[in-house]
Amino acid sequence: MRFREVFRFAFAGLRANKLRSALTTLGILIGVGAVILLVAVGKGSGAQVQANIDKLGTNLLEVSRQAGGFGARASRNTGTQSSVSALTLADAQSLVDPVNAPDVLDEAPVVTASPTATYDGATHQIAQLVGTYPAYLTATNWQIAEGSAITDDDVNQARKVIVIGQTVATDLFGTADPVGQQVMINSVPYTVEGTLQAKGSSGLQDADDFAIAPLTTVQDSLSGFGSLSQIVVQAKSAGATTAAQNEITSILTSRHHLSATASPDFRVLNQQSLLATSSSTTHTFTVLLGAVAAISLLVGGIGITNIMLVTVTERTREIGIRKALGAPRAAILGQFLVEAVMLSLIGGALGVAAGLIGTRFTVAGVKPVIVPASIALAFAVSALIGLFFGSFPANRAAKLHPIQALRHE
């Protein structure tokens, strides 16, 4: 008795009931396809979040003001004064300190405004105009598309120059080249020095509705010389962000005379830790999706058991004939087991195909990213499902007594 014959009998058995075989296969097809597709969607959404964070700059730390808690107020003991101390230029400069902050590469103080820009009759309200130092561009991963960036000279001399984002450029200048042109920012003329490369929208915000000007210029004409809105800090590497965060916290805590237990009046936002949080979130998401898909695969497997049990009952007489003619138990077991495994493997192969086709489409706004391991796993699991869920009915067939089986009507 050769394996080829077992295979031939199994195939004939499947062909005898094409519709039933096809429907059983469908259960596995859906299961395997769902595993591949849903894991790819989970992976894709993770990659999307990662890409968004990469755009913001992975070495980036943002220090911003925050209303201090009760501890902060008590420790400062200033009574009627506002509990929120300003972030000052001196604060920003104190962060570049090779001794106390060895992990900080550079800093850029930030003031923001949302002025109206006008050029040749076209008007555009810039969602965010940032007044800062040149270091800001590298820290936040902005690239210059045309022209040049702002320079230290521009900052020192408070030159009225501006670098604009793509949305601002398109709204004001259309297809014309904005570099070297004069725009009115809240009625003050600025020269456009350059344009920024597009970052695209992240979520609801348009990242390109944006402009950068020297800190001093913006303070002069727009925001005044009060507190900074933010200090942007670039760590030496993506791995050094946590250390840099701790250094910044300790420097600012001592500068603002806060006790160790008081809640601080500033907040350090670490993009790297944001990334870690979000990637663990998407990981959970992927596992959940995979689990849902795995359940459907399990249901498909139970479908195989069910159908094989029906098949064995229906073909009891055939089993009896085969046994009377000298088929050993192993041959019967093999025949029905191969039938079950063929069902699940055909379902698995079609499921892989369906999954691969499915991942070519955008699913719920996410571009799925195929995980090769999920394909291998889903396919292997489908084969195992055939073996596992087929073994019970196949064993039942093999154990049938030939006399009883022959009497079966």
Binding stretches for other proteins (CB under 8 A): 1-2, 5, 12, 16, 317-318, 320-331, 402-403, 406
Quote the CA–CA distance of 74 and 101 in Å, as a whole number: 28
| Minimum CB distance to other proteins, residue 326 (Å) | 2
What are residue 146's DSSP bridge partners?
Answer: 195
For other proteins, the closer of residues 1 and 295 by Cβ is: 1
Quote the CA–CA distance of 217 and 108 in Å, as a whole number: 15
| Minimum CB distance to other proteins, residue 17 (Å) | 10
| Minimum CB distance to other proteins, residue 297 (Å) | 32
In the numeric block, which tokens belong to residue 396?
């039942």
For other proteins, the closer of residues 68 and 334 by Cβ is: 334
For other proteins, the closer of residues 203 and 409 by Cβ is: 409
For other proteins, the closer of residues 117 and 398 by Cβ is: 398
| Minimum CB distance to other proteins, residue 317 (Å) | 7
What are residue 183's DSSP bridge partners?
Answer: 190
Quote the CA–CA distance of 332 and 397 in Å, as a whole number: 7
For other proteins, the closer of residues 79 and 326 by Cβ is: 326
| Minimum CB distance to other proteins, residue 394 (Å) | 16
| Minimum CB distance to other proteins, residue 388 (Å) | 25
> Exposed/middle/buried for 243, CB within 10 Å: 0-12, 13-18, 19+?
middle
For other proteins, the closer of residues 287 and 403 by Cβ is: 403
Report helix, strand or coil for 256.
Answer: coil
Q: Radius of gyration (Cα) for the chain, nearest Å?
A: 34
For other proteins, the closer of residues 61 and 394 by Cβ is: 394
For other proteins, the closer of residues 349 and 406 by Cβ is: 406
> Exposed/middle/buried for 404, CB within 10 Å: 0-12, 13-18, 19+?
exposed
Relative orientation angle of helices 271-314 and 329-358, to the nearest 10 degrees: 140
| Minimum CB distance to other proteins, residue 396 (Å) | 15
For other proteins, the closer of residues 325 and 364 by Cβ is: 325
| Minimum CB distance to other proteins, residue 393 (Å) | 19
| Minimum CB distance to other proteins, residue 400 (Å) | 11
Quote the CA–CA distance of 344 and 82 in Å, as a whole number: 70
Element (H or E) spanning 154, and its range? helix 152-156
| Minimum CB distance to other proteins, residue 331 (Å) | 6
Task: Enumerate the H helices of 226-265 as residue ranges.
Answer: 241-255
How many whole angstroms from its chain centre is CA 23? 36
What contacts 24+ positions apart, CB below 8 Å, involve 10-18? 10/335, 10/336, 10/338, 10/339, 10/342, 11/342, 13/311, 13/315, 13/335, 13/336, 13/339, 14/339, 14/342, 14/343, 17/311
Q: Which residues contact 178 (CB under 8 A, 6 or more apart)?
A: 119, 146, 164, 169, 172, 192, 195
Quote the CA–CA distance of 279 and 301 in Å, as a whole number: 32
For other proteins, the closer of residues 3 and 361 by Cβ is: 3
